[in-house]
Amino acid sequence: MFDTLTPPEADKILKLMAMFAADERPEKVDLGVGVYRTPDGRTPVMKAVKQAEERIWQSQESKSYVGLAGDPGFHHAMGDLILGDTADPTRVAAIATPGGTGAVRQIMELMRNTSPDATLWISDPSWPNHMAIAQYLRLNVRRYRYYDVETGGLDRDGMMADLASIQRGDLVLFHGCCHNPSGAELTAQDWRDLGALLDRTGAIPFIDIAYQGFGEGLDEDAEGTRILAQMLPEVLIAASCSKNFGLYRDRAGVAFALASGEEAKGKAQAALASLNRQNYSFPPDHGARVVDTILHDPELAATWWTELTAMREGMLATRAALTQALQAETGSDRFGFLASHRGMFSLIGATPDQVETLRNDHAIYVVGDGRMNVAGLTPASIPKVAKALAQVLT
């Protein structure tokens, strides 16, 4: 049976990871995959995570199954973190999932099962796996404009013009914060305007929030999600703990379905739990339990908050330093938009050829669409990267 297989199209982020690993040049700089790095290039286990793991190791007496939906303590902790007090818990259905991608997948499957004729609207650009999963599930997909390459900011008019065609029951996928790959953010007013549009048309927001705490702050980064949760009867949310808890390989994520009332919530809960059962039975527990332990303990939560704040402030400082270095190299504000972007990523406006030149001639790895992981820069690599960008892109 394997003889007939055709190789699947490689994900551009994963392909780049393999190319970087195979590159033997010692001066190589990895600005590809979305993994946070300290100024000396490490991705350490967070202290709060280590301490929570120690407590779990001491106290956990069984590894028996938890439940199809996962640990309710984890759902509540993540619900509080993301929604604050904007959503009455009686309308919130939740399942633990293997990472944020697991939640994206479950929500897209829910959509396929319940609204096969609806359209999923995905921003252009978006994380490549959004499109890949939607196509794998054969969903009807349309793109909406999001990023203005000329200004390096949001293409608000393009977005609103494209979303004017949404229909009742369609799902519109938004990045809760730290848009991947562009780095361009929606303002609170943009979220309110989008909420009004969705309310008018009866379309449903599907928010992927994978970088809460990496942009402006935990509450600030959840503002858009909270605005929509208050304005609309139905909201779908896929959340990841990979980045803000540094739990990448432990695969901790959650899918929320906010329903119009308790009865609908019960139906959503049953549908989501059944999707877990069909796809992998019980969701992974370890990472979710670590998050639950941290968020329910004031001391651990404070340690985590301090670590997360340091990560965010480090990324903001890196953005400022890179922008300044580029200004010095180019004598212009051409790359000024980098300082206004938020999160790990920015689109730097490089063509595929320029991306290749950066890789071949300068050992600098950015994703093919010109996405740079700012968190991959270090004080030592910033001058070299700024020089190369100025040379190749101008």
Catalytic residues: 127, 208, 210, 243
Residue 300 touching ligand LMR (CB under 6 A): no
**E strands within the chain?**
29-30, 92-98, 119-124, 140-145, 147-148, 153-154, 171-175, 204-209, 235-240, 252-258, 345-347, 364-365, 371-373
* Per-residue binding letters, 6-25, with ligand LMR (x by CB under 6 A): -------x------------
Q: How many Å apart are CA 200 and CA 294, to the nearest integer?
A: 40
Residue 34 touching ligand LMR (CB under 6 A): yes
**Shortest Å, Cβ 32 to ligand LMR:** 7
**Sole binder of ligand LMR in the list 15, 33, 137, 142 (CB under 6 A):** 33
Residue 385 touching ligand LMR (CB under 6 A): no
Q: How many Å apart are CA 174 and CA 197, to the nearest integer?
A: 14
**Sole binder of ligand LMR in the list 180, 318, 323, 381 (CB under 6 A):** 180
Instruction: Closer to ligand LMR by CB, 258 or 308: give it.
Output: 308
Helix (H, G, I), strand (E, B) or coil at 106: helix
The residues facing 209 across adjacent strands are: 239
Instruction: Closer to ligand LMR by CB, 51 or 244: give it.
Output: 244
Asked if residue 330 lies in contact with residue 201, where contact means CB atoms within 8 angstroms, the answer is no
* β-pairing verdict for 235-240 and 252-258: antiparallel
* Per-residue binding letters, 89-128, with ligand LMR (x by CB under 6 A): --------------------------------------x-
DSSP secondary structure, 168-193, as one string: TT-EEEEESSS-TTT-----HHHHHH
Question: Computed over its alpha carbons, how large is the radius of gyration of the chain?
Answer: 21
**Shortest Å, Cβ 1 to ligand LMR:** 28
**Shortest Å, Cβ 34 to ligand LMR:** 3
* Per-residue binding letters, 45-74, with ligand LMR (x by CB under 6 A): ------------------------------
Tell me the C-alpha to C-alpha distance, in Å, between residue 378 and each of 111, 309, 318, 373. 41, 18, 8, 11
Residues forming the site for ligand LMR (CB under 6 A): 13, 33-34, 127, 129, 180
